[in-house]
Structure 1
Amino acid sequence: MIVIITGASHTGKTALAQKFLEAYHYPVLSIDLLKMGLIRSRQTELTPDDDLELEYYLWPIVSEMIKTAIENNQNLIVEGCYIPARWYTSFTEEYLKHIHSYCLVMSQDYIKGNFDSIKEFASVIESRLDDSWCTLESTLTENAAYENAFVESKYQKVIYIDTDYDVSNCLEDFNDDSKT
C-alpha cells in the first residue's frame, strides 16, 4: 500500500508521515530529502527555491518509484509538496487501487488564528535552518492554492484543518480502507 501526503509548507506533512510510520511501520520517502540529495550532489542546477520546476523534475522520478513499490508489493509513505494536483494521471487503475492520498489544507481562519503555533511546530520532525521566508501572507496564499488545486476526487482526500489541528482521521480512514 502507498500513502501519499501532500499540502502546503507547514501543514504537517512530515509529522503525519511520522504518525503513519509509527502506526504501520511503512518506510517514508521524503521528497524534500530526495530534492536536497539531487541538488547537493549537483545532479540538477535547480535550487530549493525553484518550486514549480522541482515539481516537474521530481514527480516523474517519484511516480516511477511508487510504481516499482507497488509492483514489488512494498508499502511506502511518500510525503512532500512536489506532488502535482493531478498526480493520479501518472497511474493506471491497477496502480491507483494501491494508493491512498491525502492533501493537508489549513483554512484562512485557522492560519490567522494560529500562525504563531504553525511557525512554532515547523521543526517538530525536521530542523528548518532558515524559516524566515514563511510569513502569514505566504502561508495564506500557499494554502489557498492547494485548496483550489486539490479538489476532492475519488483518488485523493483533502484534509481540511479549520478549528483544531487533528489529522488522526487520516490514520482512521486509512485503517478502515485498508481492511476492505
Structure 2
Amino acid sequence: MVILITGDTHTGKTLLAQRLLEKYKYPYLSIDHLKMGLIRSGQTSLSPESPDSALTDFLWPVVREIVKTCVENGQNLIVEGCYIPFGWEKDFADDYLPYIDYVCLILSEKYIRRNFENIIRHENIIEKRQSTDVTIDNMIRINNYNLGQCISRKYKYVLIDEYYRIDIDKI
C-alpha cells in the first residue's frame, strides 16, 4: 500500500507520516527531502523559493514513478508533501489505484484564525525549518482551495476545525 499525504504547508503532513511510520512501520518519503536533494545536487535550476507549480511539475514525475515501483514490487510507502497535484490519479492505470490511498490535510479558516500563533510555534515539531513567511490570509486561501478541490474530486480529506486531532486508524 502506498499512502499519499498532502495539504498546505503547516497542516501536519510530516507529523502524520511519522505517526503512521511508528504505528504501521511503513517507511515514508518526504517530497521536501527529495526536492532539496535534487536542488543541492545541481539536478535542477529550481530553488526552494521557486513557485509551487514549477516544483510540482519537476517533482511529481519522479514521485509518481517511485509510487508505481512500490506498487509493482508490493512494497508499502508513505509519501508526504505539498507537491502532489490534484488529478494525481490520472497518472496511474486502474490496476494501480487499489494500492494507493490519498488524504489531504486541511485546516479550516476558523481553526487557522484561532490557532495561527500555535501553528507557527509548532512548525518545527518534526523537522527544523528555515524561517517561514506564512501568513494567515495565504494559509486560509490555500486551505479553502484545497477543500474545494477535494470535495469536487471526491478525494479523502481530513478537515481540522475545532481541535487538531487526526485518527490515524481512519487514514
Range of TM-score over shorter length: over 0.9
1:173 matches 2:152: no
Provide structure 2 residue ranges, at least 5 long, that are not aligned to the other structure: none
Aligned mates of 1:35, 1:86 — CA distance in 2: 21
Deviations 1:110-137 (A, max 9, x none): 1000101111111110001212x11112
- Report runs of 4+ in structure 1 exceeding 2 Å deviation: 148-154
1:29 aligned partner: 29
Residue 110 of structure 1 contacts residue 162 of structure 1 at CA under 8 Å; is this kept in 2? Answer: yes
Deviations 1:55-110 (A, max 9, x none): 01111110110000011110000000000011111111211000111000111011
TM-score w.r.t. the length of structure 1 is 0.91
Aligned mates of 1:35, 1:151 — CA distance in 2: 28
1:125 aligned partner: 126
Aligned mates of 2:138, 2:124 — CA distance in 1: 18
Residues 18, 43 of structure 1: alpha-carbon distance in 2 compared, 3 angstrom cutoff: same
Residue 31 of structure 1 contacts residue 80 of structure 1 at CA under 8 Å; is this kept in 2? Answer: yes
Matched positions, count: 170
1:40 aligned partner: 40
Superposition deviation, residue 153 in structure 1: 4.6
TM-score w.r.t. the length of structure 2 is 0.95
1:144 aligned partner: 144
Q: 1:19-168, aligned counterparts within 5 Å? A: 19-50=19-50, 51-131=52-132, 133-151=133-151, 153=153, 156-168=155-167
The residue type equivalent to 2:58 in the other structure is Y
Aligned mates of 1:122, 1:86 — CA distance in 2: 28
Structure 2 counterpart SS, 1:143: helix
The residue type equivalent to 1:97 in the other structure is P
Provide structure 1 residue ranges, at least 5 long, that are not aligned to the other structure: 175-180
